[in-house]
Structure 1
Amino acid sequence: MKFTFRIQYHTVWGEDLRVIFQNDETHVFPLSTRDGSNWQGSCDYLPSENERTIPYRYGVFRDDVCIRKELGVIPHTVYLGNAQQHRYIIDDCWRDLPAENYRYSSAFDEPHPTERPNRLSNNIGSCITFRALCPNLHAEGRVLGIIGSCNALGNWEYCRPIRMNEAAPNVWQLTLDAATLKSPFEYKFVAINEKTGAVEEWETRPNRLFQIQPIQRGETYLPAEAEVFFNRLPHRIAGTAIPVFSLRSEGSCGVGDFGDLKKFIAWAASTGQRAVQILPINDTTMTGTWMDSYPYNSISIYAFHPMYIDLRQLPELTDETDMKAFEKQRKMLNSMSSVNYEQVNQTKRKYLQAIFRQAGEQILAEPEYKAFFAKNEEWLIPYAAFSCLRDHYGTADFRQWGKDSVYHAGQARQMATSGSPFYPAMAFYYFLQYELHVQLSDACTYARSKGIIIKGDIPIGISRNSVEAWVEPYYFNMNGQAGAPPDAFSANGQNWGMPTYNWQIMEKDGYQWWKRRFQKMAEYFTAYRIDHILGFFRIWEIPYHAVHGLLGQFVPALPMSKDEIQSFGLNFDKEMMTRPYISDALLDSMFGTHAHEIRRTFLRRMQNGLYALRPEFNTQRKVQAYFAKTDEKASEEICEKLYSLISNVLFIADRDNPEMYHPRIGVQNDSVFRQLSMKEQEAFNRLYNHYYYERHNEFWYHEAMKKLPVLLQATPMLVCGEDLGMVPGCVPWVMNQLQILSLEIQRMPKKTGIEFGKLDEYPYLSVCTIGTHDMTTLRGWWKENPEQTGRFYYNELHHWGKVPEDAPGWLCEEILRHHLQCPSMLCILTWQDWTSMDETLRNPNIDAERINIPANPRHYWRWRMHITLEKLTGLSEFNQHIRQMIEESERMN
């Protein structure tokens, strides 16, 4: 079988264009060109016996390395015709993403059956196959058709369109006998009522013209795929963001569960909302204490947290005494204003263990469970083995597991055999994950039936004490810690403690680790938020010996040599510029009466009159270990000041090449910078601005474009990126090119020189919100900085008179309405902000509504709704008010 490909694509010298067959990506066919723009080539391709479709993409190669490939979930596809067709002549155009790619996502495209493309009888010798992309017709009860100027295409008669076949979701095809189509002719695509067959809408563009040389017997000609557009309003929807653990119903057990999530979805649907956004729901069980409440530090990227099991969906305990005791404990926990993480998990685990002893054998014998296990055993067995060994050794730090510290797949499978002493515990963890899967699937299926998008959250990092770090350590840099440079949340930067990724290794297998992760999420969610999407461009990596984030460097990055530093007019002295600057004046000003003790204990005097840290205290980790022995408040303050001394450097050596350097982030605020002369400060600032705001844009663009397109092709979910923080200029380039929704927050504008973002200027491809889980609520923000909120009150809301001290309900509603009216596709508000506009409903305790404080690494994640879902659902006046606001803002479509 012969395929001839023809495509226009402009290349530069050294580049060539190739066809990449998706069924076998090792099968790459090079095309040829005479002018660098028109490419073509013919190849023989023998499909396998059952291979009826040939999907492919085009790629640009340089030195046999693919430097660019077509984007998107939908590849070009040839559907093989009748037995006579032995040659396919294909005209194509390069396609990255459809113009409105979001319409093809599972968020807006319901799963629906497709059909086999039509095949002509074997006595038809030559064919023409039309291909088109058109989304969402199925949901409208319509199909795509063609109508045109020749008799075979209905002679423009609206009652005689030719119906096309939806060969794959939103991919339409029609094969016709070439002899019936006399070239040239004009035609248009139309939307046809699926039941009546009548044309309901014509595409709004000039007629298409078909003109080609005669087609020989046995040939099938495929003109370039068309993107078909009909007049449709852009989707603009409203929704709520809330952690699952924060949900509260009358029957929950002190923490939200997947049954509560289903109830919350029902409430959202009743108010006209179309989206529910949650935080990560993965298992974080490491210590068994409240420290495990941090949802972004999971032990598995696949396993869900057992506390989200809705016990009401399980059998009751057969022992009446135990059941009464549990019910008493459940009511006590459910009456608490916040989540008691430790007691909740102890109580639920005890109940789940009892249910497993009572009914586990029967549940694990069910066909549905066996199908779940067969599909998920690749991650389920390592997860269960990790959990069993964590329980056995009393720690999730697998480095302390002795002979079990290194993962062996055979050993894990041995633990999973019925004769193993570990098997009962392994089976218990299988049971938990199965129940979680069933309940979350039920909630998400219900959401789809109600037209609700469930938006999940993919954390950027993994825990260094996790299944993945144990099983696949080669994917991670364990000597580094992921974090964030200084920002509005933290003056010292953020140190998340998680290992960074070894992207070079991940690239070698096509980022399979990430693909599997995304595909698992797509089983449940129709949209997802990429936490800290900047990490796919570069991550802020902090050396393991540091506690604060100031000593980090971007990875990957382009460090500077001594000569380059000096080219900016700064005389580089490695000894002075890469070691902490510690003078007598600095010590006296920082430590006051404690300065002499600090000199004697932690420092040694050098010949130049400055000080150096003693070897036993020359890293922040060593200082931390020293002060861990005392709980005195004064010691904690001294410890923090010693951290600041250690980070008081101008340059940091590159992690891979100690003779290359990075300017320390935010160093202009420290004494090491102030001791420079005015001329040296000016030179350093030029260097600093070049390094952080100019040097890496193109470099980081290519880093992101190596990873993100591959990952986005793995699933049809709608993609949203959390693009906050120190955002490089290349980030909007990539997000626009890949049609990733940005995050827009009015009090954190991305445009420089303004204090508040302009809501009416938000891009359509964005998520608009008032605040995230890392920020104060609207009411909390209003009272934390009266001067700033005063300027907002006068300059943005255009009010006059006295600024209210606490945000009254009418003011909160006004701000909500402004956000609902912005152009963003999604307006997702926190539940606390929705309730803020009703003074009789909202929580009287403003501070109690905050979910997280990023500057506090030991924050307890425990916020709960202050009313039950049953009461919320019964608030007909409040709920109708939300629905009316959404209708008035035209966010119901």
Structure 2
Amino acid sequence: MSKVTFVVRFHTNYGQSLFITGKHPLFGGETAASALRMQYLNNDLWTLTIDVDKNALPKEGIVYNYMVQYEDGTVSYDWGSDKVLKTGDLASEEILIIDAWNFAGYFENAFYTEPFQNVLLKHRHKPAVPAPKTYTHTFRIKAPLLKKDETICLIGNDEKLGNWNEAAALLMERNDGDSFYSVRADLSRAHFPVVYKYCVFDTSAGRIVRYEDGNNRVLYDAFVKNKKTIVNDGFAVLPSTSWKGAGVAIPVFSLRAEQSCGVGEFSDIKLLVDWAKSVGLKLVQILPVNDTTATHTWTDSYPYAAISAFALHPMYLNLAKAAGEKHAQLVKDVEAERQRLNKLDAVDYEGVNNLKWRVIKQLYPLQQEEIFSSAGYKEYFELNKHWLVPYATFCYFRDKYNSADFNTWQTHKTYDAAEAAALLETGAGTFNDVAIHIYVQYLLHLQLKEAAEYAHQHGVIVKGDIPIGIYRFGVDAWQNPELYHMEMQAGAPPDDFAKTGQNWGFPTYNWEKMQEDDFTWWKQRFEQMSYYFDAFRIDHILGFFRIWSIPIDSVEGIMGHFEPAIPVHINEFYERNMWFDYARYCKPYITERLLNDTLGDQKEHVKYTFLNYDGFEKYQLKPEFSTQAKVENYFSWQQDSEHNRWLKKQLFSYLSNVLLFEVEGSQGQQFHFRFGIEETPSFKDLDPHLQYQLKQLYVNYFFERQDDFWMKKAMQKLPALKRATNMLVCGEDLGLVPRSVPEVMRQLGLLSLEIQRMPKDPNKQFFHPADAPYLSVVTPSSHDISTIRGWWEEDRNLSQQFFNDELGQWGLAPYFCDAWVNKAIVVQHLYSPAMWSIFQLQDILGCNRQIRRPNPHEERINVPADSKHYWRYRMHLTLEDLLKASAFNSEFSSMVKESGRA
């Protein structure tokens, strides 16, 4: 039995408390409620002593962390999994462990995530250092960015620390599996306090090449017989922003290879990796690859509307690899159709999926027995059955009832685990119809995992994408409807790219319910992502602070409000001496003048068909047209003509011509402001003084009262989710960004996304890559906006301003985006101080006049304002041809290398 004393250096204020927590009963089982409370020594030191039986410790040791509880009851954890209490540490009757708090926002933490530890920084020099026979102290330090022949050494004012003689400094070693360098020293005769410092030691030159920055370190301790001290000093104070990498982003479906089947496949990622490596890129980024098959039509091409947050899309299966030599004839039989699809300029979503399923259904009975009896499959199934069984049964019923809307099914409208298991029992008549979907998922798993491992072998990491929402008629909603607010729809408020906002149609999350089991569903998602990806992008990370929530009976995003949000109380109007007129503020404001201004000769027809006169030259829509959903339904039965589309849009605009939305259940006491009220005819018809008063309250509602509230909401979710994975995490923090977002991302060490055309400073027209923070990803474009070349032609005034102000060029900007202009923008991003510069492949190819696509407008991937957009962009040349483009590759490789990112 050893007496272990923990001391942590952490500055606290009055009312704050510190705890130790870990995944073991010794430390409370990693629940905040059962964490071990520490004792206060002073504002900078907290301590706790416990008795530990080393024979009771697991072989791998116990990972522990410190937790601070603030005055308001919220908690925050120190970061990392390198604080481990191991049997080997308990080498004496008394153990003192002195720890440094690891702030999650330290830059260095990024280098201890999976992509760096397993791929990018894997082959770092780790010299072996002989251990002394006797020792009293173990010193540990982390330094992730040492060069190949460098290690850390320890030097100080004691004889055993070299007495500041560089030739006698103690070399430190880093063992396999450790994140730190360590060394043991016998300080039994030292005069405490001991003063020391860590240094960088060049093993090839045999000398110290630099000392760490900052003040000397001081160790206050005393030698006691049968006592050993472990000093975990955190990070060496060395430059931590020197590492930079570049990457390429492209959806898997957009890849084109000579042997693919009209769409990119997981096996094609290998060719992309070959090209990335050849030009010095260290990362390939893809869009979500989850199964989106809801209707078996091209409308399923939207990759962010997955029917399962876990299942992979069957269209990414390489049939030839799946069939193997044994069943190659099945693939040869569809060779003509494969070639036809592969020659198309854009993806034929329905054609590709029909062909693949035709072959899959022939392969399944031939491979079923062999695969299902294999050890690899059995292991895969056990790890993933929590989502595999619901997914497979969902697909079975979707096809049986020709609909993914489980509310319309004749049976099984709610998920029942026992019934699903019965469908998969061997001998059941439904077995094969259900099990075929599990079979396909296993094949996809093998092919994507093989591609990821190939990337790692070539020094390239793979970055995935986690959509913020789930599909309304998908497995997740069917299996666990209580985790979502099915009566609401997620989206985004209006912006320059979508004037009436965006409605993604996804239900919003019931975060309170998710928190009850410590976000198990999210942690399972991250675990499954880690099979294949080293890093991932959180789509619309603002949704973890608040989501734009739209009622189910609305169509346009403009009808939404932020949720959660502190609403405006009716008393706030009275306090500002405003008379509150419910009908005027909360009902559609439709006047005779508005009808005259918007309808022309259609006015009488619209009044007769859709409106009721409300008195005083005002109208309301008839009950059968009182919501946008009702209007949408009416026009779905009418002829799809330009006139009807225009008329529907006008009726939508009338319904959105309100100033306030009443909070449901508030009995007329609480309200949310409609976004952009100053642009509404309703607002413009108010007297100037009332306009001013409303605008002041509007600004307070959107930009002042919510920030701290939203920050607390985010800190209830994001720290727990980030602790569940060691992947590198980037947040897509674009749009109407609350002031609290940058601070939360800084505290958690999350990489931000910086897009040149979407500056976060409202006073700037453009964001300059040179101003990017280190923990960020810079890019000139994304899949949701046009490419560099496409944007250049969209707004002549903007491109002219960019040409003069951002590129520093004189005179008139070229009408089309010349290759040198495209190249100059890419170079700006390569030389950014950001950790990562990631480019759409289209923007990289745009640097060269010979290799780029003739028409840049054929390269756009998505148009967010169009909810029915067909996602079908494909490369205009094959990956094999790109690999052979030696002149271009040499030119681009030089650009990457010269920027220091290769």
Q: How far apart, CA to CA, are the structure 1 residues paired with 2:214 and 2:865?
A: 58
Alignment partner of 1:606: what SS?
Answer: strand
The one-letter code sitting in structure 1 at the alignment partner of 2:7 is R
Match of 1:33 in 2: 40
Match of 2:490 in 1: 482
Alignment partner of 1:223: what SS?
Answer: strand
Matched-pair contact (CA < 8 Å) for 1:744–1:762? yes
Match among 95, 102, 105 for residue 95 of structure 1: 102
Is 1:6 paired with 2:7? yes
Match among 710, 718, 725 for residue 700 of structure 1: 710
Q: What are the equivalent positions in structure 2 for 1:31-180 lying under 5 Å apart?
A: 31-33=38-40, 38-44=45-51, 49-51=56-58, 53-61=61-69, 66-74=73-81, 76-81=83-88, 85-97=92-104, 98-110=106-118, 127-135=136-144, 140=148, 144-153=152-161, 156=165, 158=167, 161-166=170-175, 168-174=177-183, 179=188
Match of 2:597 in 1: 589
State the Cα deviation string for residues 98-134 of structure 1 (Å, max 9, x = none): 442222222322266999x99999x98x943323223
State the Cα deviation string for residues 759-799 of structure 1 (Å, max 9, x = none): 32222222111111111111111111112212222333233
Match of 1:443 in 2: 451
Q: How far apart, CA to CA, are the structure 2 residues paired with 1:620 and 1:119?
A: 75
Matched-pair contact (CA < 8 Å) for 2:82–2:178? no
Match among 642, 648, 651 for residue 633 of structure 1: 642
> Which aligned segments of 4 or more residues in structure 1 are displaced greater than 6 angstroms?
111-115, 117-121, 317-321
The one-letter code sitting in structure 2 at the alignment partner of 1:300 is S
Match among 803, 806, 809 for residue 796 of structure 1: 806
Overall identity of the aligned pairs, in %: 37
Q: How far apart, CA to CA, are the structure 1 residues paired with 2:558 and 2:544?
A: 20
The one-letter code sitting in structure 1 at the alignment partner of 2:707 is N
Q: How far apart, CA to CA, are the structure 1 residues paired with 2:393 and 2:149?
A: 49
Which deviates more from structure 2 when the two are superposed, residues 78-87 or residues 692-701?
78-87
Match of 1:651 in 2: 660
State the Cα deviation string for residues 673-702 of structure 1 (Å, max 9, x = none): 011100011111111111111111111111
The one-letter code sitting in structure 2 at the alignment partner of 1:599 is K
Match among 518, 524, 536 for residue 528 of structure 1: 536
State the Cα deviation string for residues 71-97 of structure 1 (Å, max 9, x = none): 433363333447663443333343322
Matched-pair contact (CA < 8 Å) for 1:485–1:550? yes
Match of 1:505 in 2: 513
The one-letter code sitting in structure 2 at the alignment partner of 1:429 is H
State the Cα deviation string for residues 280-314 of structure 1 (Å, max 9, x = none): 10110110000000000001111110111122323
State the Cα deviation string for residues 187-232 of structure 1 (Å, max 9, x = none): 44355678x8966655423684554443434433333533124567
* RMSD, matched Cα: 2.8
Match of 1:564 in 2: 572
Which deviates more from structure 2 when the two are superposed, residues 509-518 or residues 532-541?
509-518
Change (3 A) 1:874 1:7: closer
Q: How far apart, CA to CA, are the structure 1 residues paired with 2:697 and 2:79?
A: 39
CA-CA distance at 1:275 after TM superposition: 1.6
Match of 1:777 in 2: 787
Matched-pair contact (CA < 8 Å) for 1:189–1:202? no
Match of 2:864 in 1: 854
CA-CA distance at 1:271 after TM superposition: 0.9
Which deviates more from structure 2 when the two are superposed, residues 874-883 or residues 25-34?
25-34
Matched-pair contact (CA < 8 Å) for 1:186–1:207? no
The one-letter code sitting in structure 1 at the alignment partner of 2:746 is N
Change (3 A) 1:316 1:179: closer
State the Cα deviation string for residues 779-834 of structure 1 (Å, max 9, x = none): 11111111221222233323344432221222222222222222222111111111
Match of 1:374 in 2: 382
Change (3 A) 1:73 1:513: farther
Q: How far apart, CA to CA, are the structure 1 residues paired with 2:797 and 2:319?
A: 48
CA-CA distance at 1:173 after TM superposition: 4.4
Q: How far apart, CA to CA, are the structure 2 residues paired with 1:109 and 1:541?
A: 39
Match of 2:264 in 1: 256
Q: How far apart, CA to CA, are the structure 2 residues paired with 1:86 and 1:512?
A: 40
The one-letter code sitting in structure 1 at the alignment partner of 2:479 is V
Matched-pair contact (CA < 8 Å) for 2:57–2:87? no
CA-CA distance at 1:648 after TM superposition: 0.8
Matched-pair contact (CA < 8 Å) for 2:196–2:217? yes
Q: How far apart, CA to CA, are the structure 2 residues paired with 1:259 and 1:867?
A: 17
Matched-pair contact (CA < 8 Å) for 1:153–1:162? no
The one-letter code sitting in structure 2 at the alignment partner of 1:669 is E
The one-letter code sitting in structure 1 at the alignment partner of 2:704 is E
Matched-pair contact (CA < 8 Å) for 1:317–1:354? no
Q: How far apart, CA to CA, are the structure 2 residues paired with 1:569 and 1:74?
A: 57
Alignment coverage as a number of residue pairs: 886
Q: What are the equivalent positions in structure 2 for 1:229-628 lying under 5 Å apart?
A: 229-230=237-238, 234-315=242-323, 323-628=331-636
Q: How far apart, CA to CA, are the structure 2 residues paired with 1:567 and 1:197?
A: 75
Alignment partner of 1:6: what SS?
Answer: strand
Q: How far apart, CA to CA, are the structure 1 residues paired with 2:327 and 2:206?
A: 64
Match of 1:18 in 2: 19
Matched-pair contact (CA < 8 Å) for 2:129–2:172? no
Matched-pair contact (CA < 8 Å) for 2:108–2:240? no
Q: How far apart, CA to CA, are the structure 2 residues paired with 1:314 and 1:757?
A: 46
Change (3 A) 1:641 1:755: same
Is 1:762 paired with 2:763? no
Match of 1:748 in 2: 758
- Which sections of structure 2, spanning at least 5 residues, go unmatched? none
CA-CA distance at 1:261 after TM superposition: 1.1
CA-CA distance at 1:485 after TM superposition: 0.3
The one-letter code sitting in structure 1 at the alignment partner of 2:582 is K
Change (3 A) 1:507 1:815: same
Q: How far apart, CA to CA, are the structure 2 residues paired with 1:223 and 1:469?
A: 49
Q: How far apart, CA to CA, are the structure 1 residues paired with 2:295 and 2:75?
A: 45
CA-CA distance at 1:845 after TM superposition: 2.2
Matched-pair contact (CA < 8 Å) for 1:460–1:535? yes
Change (3 A) 1:819 1:162: closer
Alignment partner of 1:238: what SS?
Answer: strand
The one-letter code sitting in structure 2 at the alignment partner of 1:279 is L
Change (3 A) 1:533 1:161: same
Q: How far apart, CA to CA, are the structure 1 residues paired with 2:66 and 2:244?
A: 33
Change (3 A) 1:200 1:527: farther
TM-score (norm 2): 0.92
Which deviates more from structure 2 when the two are superposed, residues 513-522 or residues 222-231?
222-231
Matched-pair contact (CA < 8 Å) for 2:659–2:683? yes
CA-CA distance at 1:836 after TM superposition: 1.4
Match among 869, 878, 882 for residue 868 of structure 1: 878
